[in-house]
Structure 1
Amino acid sequence: MDYNLYVRHSGGKEAPDQAGAFTDRAYQAFMAAFEREYGGGRVPLQVGFHFTLMNGGAYWKALERFAEEVCVRDDVRCVSYREYLDETDLEPLVRVGG
């Protein structure tokens, strides 16, 4: 999750001057997690993000680069949680709003 990276990288304090380094580190973390599943059990990788730019947008930039490289692979699908649940006939553990 982007917030976890934010806290790990900068202690939860904005450090936009280090955005480039944080982007690279986050991208490497996303790729390592992906490659672990891609070459192993093929468990769907979940990436959680907030609608905010932390550390100069470092985590959004890392996610964009990751998606551009991974989501175009022939045997990879990037979908929302809702699409995944609809396609697997699984129900969320908690229903919000009714």
Structure 2
Amino acid sequence: MTNSGATSAAAALRADLDAIVALERRIRAAQAEQPRLIERAHQYAHAVEGVHAGSTSVQRESGTRSFIAELATALVIPEATAVTAPAGRSPASRCARRR
């Protein structure tokens, strides 16, 4: 490879590494935002289902199960996977544990 070819390759490498770093930052930002959006959506789902502070545990559980099913459908993942993902990595499993 010629010197100018190596220089071009080095510049392209730096550009790709910079793009990878920028992408990783966006991914991390999205992952940080996801739990907040899920929790807010969970609250909205409870409001839609009529679940409130005076609701019984059965009503709250039913509302949460309904939300988990809806979230799993939106994410195109099986409901069982949404609830049982390892190490609490699933958004739905975090919601289920909170209630």
Q: When the two structures are superposed, what TM-score results if normalisation uses the length of structure 2?
A: 0.33
Structure in which a larger fraction of residues adopt helix: 2
Q: When the two structures are superposed, what TM-score results if normalisation uses the length of structure 1?
A: 0.33
Q: Larger RCO: Structure 1 or Structure 2 (Cα < 8 Å, ≥ 6 residues apart)? A: 1
Q: Which one has a bigger Cα radius of gyration? A: 2
